[in-house]
Amino acid sequence: MVLVRNGGEVPLTATEFRLLAFLLCNAERIISRRELLRVIWGYRPDTATRTVDIHVAKLRQKLERDPANPIHVRTVHCVGYQFVP
């Protein structure tokens, strides 16, 4: 599972790969943390965790030119995340 960025290969963990693939398949759609927990991690909807946020941050480190100001994996405040191609 590898991401190609600027001509170089960036290895992804299995979870990062599943997360990125799901975001790509749902590009432009706002996806809640709850949905990501259910789809990617198989958690119950009432599970409270920072797992999603931590994995999104790691994915941004590998994907974004400036992870502090992401243009592809955007946070939608109080809702979830959105992938913008």
Domains, the chain, in order of start with CATH, read 2-83 (1.10.10.10)
Q: Residue for token digits 């799901």?
A: 22
| Beta pairing partners, 32 | 80
Share of the chain above pLDDT 70, in %: 95
Measured distance CA(66)–CA(51) in Å, rounded? 21
Measured distance CA(55)–CA(43) in Å, rounded? 15
Q: At what angle do helices 51-63 and 14-25 cross, to 10 degrees?
A: 80
* 21-39 tens-digit pLDDT: 999 999 999 999 999 999 9
Q: Is the pLDDT of residue 83 over 80?
A: yes
